[in-house]
Amino acid sequence: MKAAKAPKPSPSTKRASTPKRKVAAPAKVSAKAAAPAKSQVRVCTQGGPFAEVATATVKRRADKMLAALQLTGAELSVALVDDATIHALNRDYRQKDKPTDVLAFAMEEGEPTPAGKRGKGQPAQARVLGDVIVSIDTATKQARRRRRPLLDELTMLLAHGLLHLLGYDHQNDDDERAMVAKTKELEAAASLRGRG
């Protein structure tokens, strides 16, 4: 697979840290008010239209993946683009002068703990994950080559990009096996019928 984790945005886009200060203890919250925030997924297109791709379907599948990862309250942006757009991003951020299938731009610094690898009893944190950018042109070619529906290919690429945002990678055989297995889990979760 050609996907790789793209470098983080330039340092000028990083948030400045704030000095620590004493904060009063939070007031008790009722069980109703303490319900976890719903994840937010934004899907946009650039270079389309892509008549064969419904952004609402991509959003639903991303929501299901976040739920499967227990990432309530997480924010994720998905961009469905053409080869020209992803080629420019791949060239500018990865110094690879060619289109690719998926890029992931994480918003967190350092090595985030992938969901599913947290300690027992440790809750998932609500957070801004970053951007997954998928080339519809390349996904269409790959789907044809693999003789499968475009939506299945897009779902796999979305899962792959999301896992990169969470710190997964495929630099060695063990990491590759773990990432492929987790990608398949997310594909299955995203493909389930019904709400959520």
Please indicate, yes or no, if residue 24 is contained in any of the structural domains.
no
Average pLDDT per block of 10 residues along the chain, 196 residues long: 47 33 39 60 89 93 95 93 96 96 85 46 65 97 97 97 94 94 96 68
Supply the pLDDT for residue 48: 80
Q: Distance between CA atoms of 136 and 116, rounded to whole angstroms? A: 29
Q: Which two tokens stand for residue 45?
A: 């297109």
90: containing domain: 36-191
Q: Distance between CA atoms of 2 and 122, rounded to whole angstroms? A: 33
List Cα–Cα distances, 3 to 55, 90, 161, in angstroms. Answer: 21, 10, 8
Please indicate, yes or no, if residue 18 is contained in any of the structural domains.
no
Please indicate, yes or no, if residue 146 is contained in any of the structural domains.
yes
Question: Three-state SS string across 74-104, please?
Answer: CEEEEEEECHHHHHHHHHHHHCCCCCCCEEE
Supply the pLDDT for residue 196: 40
Please indicate, yes or no, if residue 159 is contained in any of the structural domains.
yes
Coil, strand or helix at 117: coil
Spatial CA neighbour of 77 closest among 37, 120, 42: 42
Please indicate, yes or no, if residue 108 is contained in any of the structural domains.
yes
Q: Distance between CA atoms of 118 and 139, rounded to whole angstroms? A: 32
Supply the pLDDT for residue 194: 62
Supply the pLDDT for residue 47: 86
Question: How many CB atoms sit inside 10 A of residue 53's CB?
Answer: 19
Supply the pLDDT for residue 51: 87
Supply the pLDDT for residue 37: 67
Please indicate, yes or no, if residue 2 is contained in any of the structural domains.
no
Count of alpha carbons within 13 angstroms of residue 93, beta-carbon side: 22
Give Dmax (Cα) for the chain: 59
Please indicate, yes or no, if residue 161 is contained in any of the structural domains.
yes
Number of domains in the chain: 1
Please indicate, yes or no, if residue 49 is contained in any of the structural domains.
yes
Supply the pLDDT for residue 185: 97
Spatial CA neighbour of 132 closest among 92, 75, 175, 179: 75
| Cβ(56)–Cβ(20) below 8 Å | no
Supply the pLDDT for residue 193: 76
Phi and psi at residue 126, in whole multiples of 5°? -75, 135
Which residues pair with residue 131 across a beta bridge? 77, 105
For residue 91, the domain's CATH number is 3.40.390.30
